[in-house]
Chain A
């Protein structure tokens, strides 16, 4: 029972990190229709920046905050390259984000080397039903809950959030009412960068971060975003938590080697399921 609880909380913590990466993907896709394959890069940049600042003597909290801010700026810059030129198709922008992600490898290796680095998380643990749960996992869960609540308010209640949704719903109509679709897209990229950076600084104490850690993050984040049909933030969170817990259970009761296989298998099954559903709808319509 205590093992199960430990795996569950570990999985939820990891799932929250995945959810932050996935929600960044969804947010950017919602506003710009671009699948941003550089989303994992934002997490790496955020984490490595925060670790460097901690090494330089900055206190916890401030270092992580600056790491997230740098990731947001990187997100904005990536957005400017990917969608800044009017008329760039989402498909072309997708390829640009892929290229930028690879370019970022070179910059990251130059700045931080190619070895994985980790930071100290929140120390301490609490005991629940005999299971010892690290406090840092509770921090990740709490921060993620707050971020998702803020996003629900942003899109559900605020005027700016409605304008962001309007850009995805009908870009032409958005231009007609005077909303700058490009500016909104850049805002989405900056928020996406911040979400990725937040995932990075929160996950850095649990997994060491290197320039190529973005691959595992983007695979998991993309899997969660697919569960949310690249549109629904809440379903993305549910998908990410499921993935995180499933991976923790596989690692706990089986072997950690199969963690990524679980994520890939889930994405594959979902994509096949969604394609079959779409096909049957088209067949019925025909």
Chain B
């Protein structure tokens, strides 16, 4: 399904990545690529290995085998926002520039947060408040802003929508699109909410039980009946097809199944996929328009 080959200009290139926690294999032969300025989605149910992949990309975890090449500055918005709760919003943002290595005036400029407030103006009025006391949406904005402070060329966002109201998610999605369009920042969006991810990103990977089960253009993946049934909630409330019930599960998905948009939908998958919750950018925007 329209799988473009790796290119030397890719900002991220992962080949045959294997990550283990003790005896358990969290990622098994995962390969993916991100081109400069591209928005790529990584979708999959709970426990598929999405966060493990993020932590490996940003160097927090070490692979057992395979290669991870990150050829640009990368920053992460971790799952669950992960605020420095005792510190103010402004301090949280400034610490995002910790790895920048300037001196004197250049260092002051690197730690200058004013451009982040221009991009995320909702944070201006809470800049001196402790981050631990903010709402979930505000904290997610702080997490995005903190990651932006390192001036990344690749922004990896782990669960943008987790625990947030649709209107807030729509607002954040708008900011991300703007950032991608105006500053050319590549975005890797890791989401359980597949509809949101496929709406926002041009290309997507489907991760199941530590393996890439499908990849391709978001539009094509969204059009695939299996993806739609497993992740986009189109079978909501309906029992899965008989062949799906008999499917041996994602562990048996061989490498030849990649790029076929055929992610062996297990009975539990449709229940865990957050796409079923109907949290979509469009519906939220429509709701926002109605409200005004």
**Contacts from A to B (Cβ < 8 Å):** 159, 162-163, 165-166, 168-170, 172-179
Contacts and interface: CB of A to CB of B under 8 A. Distances in A.
A172 B111 contact: no
Q: Does more than half of chain B's interface fall in helix, strand or loop, or is it mixed?
A: loop
Nearest to A168: B86
B150 A159 contact: no
B224 interface: no
Nearest to A172: B82
Contacts of A169: 83-87
Contacts of B150: 177-178
A172 B91 contact: no
Given A172-B82, A173-B84, A176-B78, A166 B95 contact: yes
Given A159-B111, A165-B84, A173 B91 contact: no
Contacts of A178: 98-99, 150
Contact of B95 (A163, A168, A172): A163
Interface residues of B, number: 19
**Majority DSSP secondary structure for residues of A touching B:** helix
A173 B87 contact: no
A167 B24 CA distance: 29
A165 to B, nearest CB: 6
Nearest to A160: B98
B91 A176 contact: no
B60 interface: yes
Nearest to A173: B82
Contacts of B98: 163, 177-179
9 contacts: A165-B87, A168-B86, A170-B82, A173-B82, A176-B58, A177-B150, A178-B150, A179-B95, A179-B98
A162 B95 CA distance: 8
Which of A165, A174, A178, A179 has the most chain B CB atoms inside 10 A of its CB? Answer: A178
A162 B82 contact: no
B216 interface: no
A176 B76 contact: yes
B146 interface: yes
- Counting chain B CB atoms within 10 Å of each CB, the highest count among A162, A168, A177 belongs to A177
Most B CB within 10 A of own CB, among A168, A170, A175, A176 = A176
Contacts of A179: 95, 98
Nearest to B158: A176
A176 B82 contact: yes
A172 B86 contact: no
A173 B111 contact: no
A170 B87 CA distance: 10
Contacts of B76: 176
Contacts of A175: 60
Interface string B182-193: 000000000000
B94 interface: yes
B263 interface: no
B85 A172 contact: no
B137 interface: no
Given A162-B94, A163-B95, A165-B87, 6 more contacts: A162-B95, A169-B87, A176-B78, A177-B99, A177-B146, A179-B95
